Amino acid sequence: MADGFHFETLVSPSGGGGPRLGRLDTPHGAVETPAFIPVGTKATVKGVLPATLREIGVQMVLANTYHLALRPGAEVVRDLGGLHAMMAWDGPVLTDSGGFQVFSLAPLRRVTEEGVAFRSHIDGAQMTLTPESAVAVQNDLGADVIMALDVCPPHPCPRGEVEEAVRLTLAWAERCRRAHRRGDQALWAIVQGGVERDLREQCAARLVAMDFPGYAIGGVSVGEGHEHLKAVVGWTAPLLPADRPRYLMGVGEVRDVIASVRAGVDLFDCVLPTRNGRNASAYTADGLIRLRNETFRTDRRPIEEDCDCPACRRWSRGALRHLFASGEMLGPILLSIHNLRFYTRLFAGLRGAIGDGRFDACAQGVLDRYYGKH
């Protein structure tokens, strides 16, 4: 484990699978797991002050290597004191490697043995990320946890393309490990393999043999659907070392979270809470509600009666609907805060249930209420 890092499972089932309670210590504080990591792509969680993130229970935030390398540039972030100073966030930070952009910006990139050549989505300029440069950028950004560069294939995808993605991911993981220069940052590897069980197993085994301090499961939430996701995570999580953190990248749908915690995943990130918040959709225990609907025009209730977030304490559904109808920026801000609080409350509840030995009953109750029991 890198300097200042320690991971401990406090409650863990035998056999390597199943829900577990843990604690990840980093140079910038601890994360109680399982935990949700809000996405701050460009060194900010859109519309939410760092102090508010702390107030609503956020423990760790994520920033994006590709986007920050383009603007303002890794050197600028470094010269401003690193991500923690630039973001005014003194807690743990994780940066992804740019590998997801291999999927999301497919028309703008070309993958070779050396790395990924991107045509900037901002101005069309060429930018190349290699395993070495992806690590160097993240060393400059200064996050606590940094990720190895990988290839994230889409779904569906021909098996041959998935095999090639796994081959490059493994080769690049070794190159990233050799390039990593900072002892106060933990470099984690990413398991790829699409929905092919044997490829997931091969990739996991090879990465575990390289002895990284943490492991992610990548290449899900790319169109495969809940059942495939559940299967992939169920195969893969037990293959990863029980004494290392397990991170599922880009997953936030409630049913996917529940299934993955059940499989033994510790950390999650996703844009859904803030993206939905900016689009007038609010999470509740009874499912997602869309506040632009006319039915909320004179609704004096809070989004959720038992929620302690600033939006629920002081604004009604009708008032929030008005903010969106009027194009006022406060609406997206308040709903982003509420949605993130929904997730921190959800994960706190799951942690409590694991600690008390009642995860299955708690999880089923969450699912029945959120999706409606039929």
Task: List, by residue number, the catalytic residues.
Answer: 96, 269
The kind and range of the H/E element at 167 are helix 159-179
Could you tell me if 265 and 350 are in contact, meaning their C-beta atoms sit under 8 angstroms apart? no
Contacts of 365 (CB under 8 A, 6+ apart): none
Q: Which two tokens stand for residue 82?
A: 């690193």
The candidate with the shortest Cα–Cα distance to 74, out of 10, 12, 139, is 139
The candidate with the shortest Cα–Cα distance to 207, out of 158, 162, 167, is 167
Give the C-alpha distances (Å, rounded to integers) separating 204 from 167, 236, 238, 367. Answer: 12, 7, 10, 30
The kind and range of the H/E element at 4 are none
Give the CA-trace dihedral at 134, 135, 140, 145, to 10 degrees: 110
**DSSP classification of residue 271:** S
**DSSP classification of residue 39:** B
Could you tell me if 262 and 254 are in contact, meaning their C-beta atoms sit under 8 angstroms apart? no
Give the C-alpha distances (Å, rounded to integers) separating 372 from 278, 284, 317, 366. Answer: 25, 12, 21, 10
